[in-house]
A = this chain, B = another copy of it.
Amino acid sequence: MSQQAIPLELLNRMTDAQFVAATGDIFEHAAWVAEATLAARPFATVAALHAAMVAGLHAAPRDRQLALLRGHPELGRKVARAGDLTQASMAEQGALGLDRLGEEEFARFTALNAEYGGRFGFPFIICVRRHTRDSILAQFARRLGNDGEAEFAAAIAEIAFITRLRLVARVEGPGKPKTDGRLSTHVLDTARGRPAGGVAVSLYEIGASARGRVAAAVTNADGRTDAPLLAGGPLPIGTYELQFSLGAYFAGQGAALADPPFLDVVPIRFSIAEPEAHYHVPLLATPWTYSTYRGS
């Protein structure tokens, strides 16, 4: 964010016009949501401000809600012009790489968008920062099976996710709602009963349409990585693979290994389903066995 965060306390003291100027774009082309919260000021927490906005959205007449949904850009639009997307929308879609779709994927998104728009009368809305590309496609397919009422509610729920992230980025203050997840690991050498330091760890996103390394680290003396493998935002829902260079570690310890070693690069494949949660995925290993689990 190039913009400086606004203190919540300042928002509470602003004039109505200043407040709407400062927060009116949190909801896409819908400053009326911010206006609806004016009376509820002051807010003790950022979470309370967001809750008030979401309540205002839920309380609005159906045609206003529909207009808000219709004001969202199509997902994966190849040629995005500044006038069409809000700044925030551009940044969010770029994070996922939806602006770098191949021809085939672009065609698929275009077809899904057309089918979705035809069926529901508004564009497919999803909080892209909470999803991998594969997960978006899975949600697209699943939500196309919804009836109109359920899908309207689903779209509103996604707007709550999107705006929560925007608000947290925009406003500084106490009681921020939880928007960040965390993925951590820990490697234990259970042959020697001590942390395994110096183990190279890579994290891959494993998608049907793409596979890419999203993090890499080396374990420290406590068998952990100095920083979480993923942090600082929602963990995108999707499938991942941790790869631990276990063979190199045990060779470096002078352990008696088979040739080639029974275990060399150990892959741990798992999916993230809760973007705001902490996933601790450790590896307990000897040259001949390992186990993993979702820890805390």
Contacts and interface: CB of A to CB of B under 8 A. Distances in A.
A265 B258 contact: no
Nearest to A222: B296
Nearest to A295: B188
Interface string A263-281: 1111101110110000000
A296 B195 contact: yes
How many monomers of this protein are in the complex? 4
A293 B193 contact: yes
Given A269-B266, A271-B260, A191 B288 contact: yes
A287 B190 CA distance: 8
A193 B289 contact: yes
A260 B273 contact: yes
Given A193-B288, A287-B193, A262 B266 contact: no
Interface in A222-273: 222-223, 237-239, 241, 256, 258-267, 269-271, 273
A296 B289 CA distance: 13
A263 B258 contact: no
A262 B188 contact: no
29 contacts: A135-B260, A138-B260, A188-B293, A188-B295, A190-B191, A190-B286, A190-B288, A190-B289, A190-B293, A191-B191, A191-B286, A191-B287, A193-B262, A193-B286, A194-B288, A222-B296, A237-B260, A239-B260, A241-B267, A259-B273, A261-B271, A263-B271, A284-B293, A286-B286, A288-B294, A289-B291, A289-B294, A290-B292, A290-B293
Interface of A: 135, 138, 188, 190-195, 222-223, 237-239, 241, 256, 258-267, 269-271, 273-274, 284, 286-296
